[in-house]
């Protein structure tokens, strides 16, 4: 499971997801990319599920880059716990995704194979995605 090795502070504020992705919004490494069309928190589990789908669909041909890293801790308090008593324990790590962010990149495949792999991976993600090619 993807998560940071160490952090300066253990717990984060929830933050804001408004606006478009200012960086990470172009295909820089591969030939094809999977772009997010809306904002969401992308969990480490969702990234791994999509990665598995892509590697299965491409039969591990070509090179895959994961451009989202879950570095934000999300806390939860157990059910039935009353107010107060501080912030809950860290449940999972998420990546903050804004519209326009490239989540995955692929190289060394035909456009049709990459498009199909990204289509299937898009079903594992909590937002709509679009297939993009490098300019």
pLDDT digit string, tens, across residues 84-130: 999 999 999 999 999 999 999 999 999 999 999 999 999 999 999 99
Residue 28 maps to a domain: no
Residue 100 maps to a domain: yes
Given a cut of 90, whether residue 135 has pLDDT beyond it is: no
Residue 53 maps to a domain: yes
List the CATH number of the domain containing 102. Answer: 3.90.1170.10
What is the C-alpha to C-alpha distance for residues 6 and 108, in angstroms, rounded to an integer? 34
Q: Note the maximum CA span of the chain.
A: 55
Residue 70 maps to a domain: yes
Nearest-CA neighbor of 29 among 108, 96, 130?
A: 108
Q: Cβ–Cβ contacts within 10 Å for residue 14, how many?
A: 10
Quote the domain boundaries for residue 111.
37-76+90-133
Given a cut of 90, whether residue 3 has pLDDT beyond it is: yes
pLDDT digit string, tens, across residues 11-25: 999 999 999 999 999
- In the chain, how many domains are there? 1
> In the beta sheet, which residues pair with residue 77?
none
Residue 97 maps to a domain: yes
Residue 9 maps to a domain: no
CA dihedral 128, 50, 2, 39 (to 10 degrees): 0
Residue 51 maps to a domain: yes
Token look-up 């919004």 returns 25
Residue 68 maps to a domain: yes
């Amino acid at each position: 499971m993807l998560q940071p090795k160490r952090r300066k502070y253990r717990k984060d504020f929830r933050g804001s997801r408004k606006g478009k992705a200012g960086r990470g919004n172009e295909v820089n490494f591969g030939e094809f990319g999977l772009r997010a069309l809306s904002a969401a928190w992308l969990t480490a589990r969702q990234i791994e599920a999509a990665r598995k789908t892509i590697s299965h669909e491409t039969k591990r041909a070509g090179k895959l880059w994961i451009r989202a890293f879950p570095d934000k801790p999300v806390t939860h308090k157990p059910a039935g716990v009353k107010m107060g008593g501080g912030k809950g324990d860290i449940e999972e790590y998420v990546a903050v995704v804004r519209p326009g962010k490239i989540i995955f990149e692929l190289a060394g495949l035909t456009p049709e194979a990459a498009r199909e792999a990204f289509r299937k991976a898009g079903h594992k993600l909590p937002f709509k995605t679009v297939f993009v090619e490098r300019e």
